[in-house]
Structure 1
Amino acid sequence: MTSAAAIWLVLLLAAVLANLPFINERIFALGPRKATKAVSWRLLELILYTAVVTAVGRWLEGRSGQMAEQGWQFYAVLSCVMLTLAFPGFVWRHLRRRH
């Protein structure tokens, strides 16, 4: 896999996993269906999905060459990117008008 394809794969995975907590009512997309999930469950899922995206990205980086050391700044930016990518799902779930 080329480095460009790996980058697109991680970005697509991040966009899908960032919106997944807001799209469905199942816990971690596999667990039991809840009538309505609490916001705390959705945030916990978002944090764990961020860890999954990080792990996949690090794995792909390791396959392509030497892995770069990441400081706290990387994880702060990654958290902000995941929150930004989750915005459409959040708006769809919590801010849309219900008729």
Structure 2
Amino acid sequence: MTQAASVWLVLVVAMIAANLPFLNERLFLLGPRLHPKAFAWRLLELVVYALATWALGIALEGSIGQRAPQDWEFFAAGACLFLTLASPGFVWRYLRRRHAPTQHD
């Protein structure tokens, strides 16, 4: 896999993983259905998916060649990027207007 393909793969996986906690009611996609799922569960899923995406990035970087050293700035920027990628799911789950059901007599 080329370096450019690896970067795009990590970005696509990050976009999907960042929105998964907000788009379903199951715990980690396979667990029991919680309705409504608490915000704390969504945050925990977001952290776990971010770590899984980070691990994928490390694995792909290692398969291309030697890993570059990263300091705290890299991880802070990565966390901010992951939260930014999660914004569509957050907006859809919490900020979207829901229409009141109409009553038919």
Superimposed CA distance per residue, residues 28-49 of structure 1 (whole angstroms, 9 cap, x where no aligned partner): 1110001111111101100010
* Counterpart residue number, 1:91: 91
* Counterpart residue number, 1:17: 17
Q: Which amino acid aligns with 1:19?
A: N
Higher helix share: 1
Structural RMSD (CA): 0.5
* Counterpart residue number, 1:27: 27
Q: Which amino acid aligns with 1:9?
A: L
Deviation at 1:71, TM superposition (A): 1.1
Deviation at 1:88, TM superposition (A): 0.2
* Counterpart residue number, 1:52: 52
Q: Which amino acid aligns with 1:92?
A: W
Q: Which amino acid aligns with 1:75?
A: F
Q: What residue ranges of structure 2 are gaps of 5+ in the alignment?
A: 100-105
* Counterpart residue number, 1:62: 62
Deviation at 1:60, TM superposition (A): 0.2
Aligned length: 99
